[in-house]
Amino acid sequence: MPHYGTWFSYSGSAKLTLAIVLLAAAAALAYAGIRLPLPAGAPRPGRNTTTLMVVAWALSIIAFLACVGIYGKQAHHEHLAGRPADNIFPITFLAAVVTFFLITVTGKPGGKTAVISAALAAVAAPMVFELPFDLIVMARTYPPIPPNPALYRVVFFAPLFAVEITTLALLAWAPMVRLTRATFFAFALMLAVFAVWALAGFDYPATPVPYALNVVSKLLAFATILTLFLPVRAQAQVEDAPAGQAPASA
């Protein structure tokens, strides 16, 4: 029996199916990282688009907080409130601090732009983990909230997905962001760790194995974000030189 505020673990064919899907997604990402012409810069939104993105992000947070209140009130009314202690948050917080520091120090052009970009990265990194994680556990959350468990799952997860997606979308504002092969490989590796976790039942991280897999996958999420911001070594220009002409010396 799972603890309150967690989710039912996967078992039997369900955990095998989940592991196969996650491994297939990881393989597709790794293949894309190999085949795509990278690094590639993300298209930056204009001022109006950026304003709309920020407004959507703020509204999604407000909606999530309101829905959490509704969800929690109903759970309390049914005497179902409560959840196990969160032992992962200290690691998440420390990884966010390190991410912020690294991007602030190494980011170009530096200054205010680097600080804002670092803040966005620190906030967005957990969402790289949470978005696929929530898709995996949302239908198995425990305990079910009566009188309509499916409805209350939507009340909780719909605004949460909006927060996660809008937070990740804000990364497009940062001028330093660019996709690299390492980005695809790091995210693929995170999904591969998820697959191992699935084979172990995708249990709540209250015991050593799921706890370790949770921590490793969370750190890989931060590594994925870092690959978007850290400087990429200059690419050789030989391929770009006109035929019969040597590339200019630096």
Q: Which residue has the higher pLDDT, 117 or 242?
A: 117
pLDDT tens for 214-246 read: 999 999 999 999 999 877 553 333 334 444 454
Report which of 102, 131, 126 is spatially closest to residue 222, judged by C-alpha positions.
126
Which of the residue ranges 54-58, 107-111, 190-194, 219-223 would you say has the lowest mean pLDDT? 107-111
Scored b (16 or more CB within 10 A) or e, 220-231 reads bbbbbbbbbbee
pLDDT tens for 135-159 read: 999 999 888 888 999 999 999 999 9
Question: Tell me, what's the pLDDT at 235?
Answer: 37
Residue 167 binned pLDDT confidence (cut-offs 50, 70, 90): very high
Report which of 43, 46, 174, 47 is spatially closest to residue 108, judged by C-alpha positions.
174
Residue with tokens 């199916």: 17
Query: pLDDT averaged over the chain?
Result: 87
Question: Tell me, what's the pLDDT at 63?
Answer: 97
Give 89's contacts (C-beta < 8 A, 6+ positions apart). none
Question: Tell me, what's the pLDDT at 243?
Answer: 43
Residue 193 binned pLDDT confidence (cut-offs 50, 70, 90): very high
Question: Tell me, what's the pLDDT at 118?
Answer: 93
pTM score, whole prediction: 0.87
Report which of 194, 228, 233 is spatially closest to residue 210, judged by C-alpha positions.
194
Residue with tokens 């894309």: 32
Scored b (16 or more CB within 10 A) or e, 79-88 reads ebeeeeeeee
CA distances 30 to 34, 80, 221, Å, are: 6, 42, 15
In degrees, rounded to 5, the angle at the alpha carbon of residue 164 between the alpha carbons of residues 172 and 138 is 150
What residue ranges do the domains of the chain occupy?
Answer: 6-231
| Identity of the amino acid at 25 | A
Report which of 43, 46, 62, 35 is spatially closest to residue 160, judged by C-alpha positions.
62
CA 79 from centre of chain: 32
Q: Which residue has the higher pLDDT, 181 or 78?
A: 181
Beta carbons of 132 and 29 less than 8 angstroms apart: no
Which of the residue ranges 95-99, 217-221, 245-249 would you say has the lowest mean pLDDT? 245-249
Average pLDDT estimate for 123-143: 94
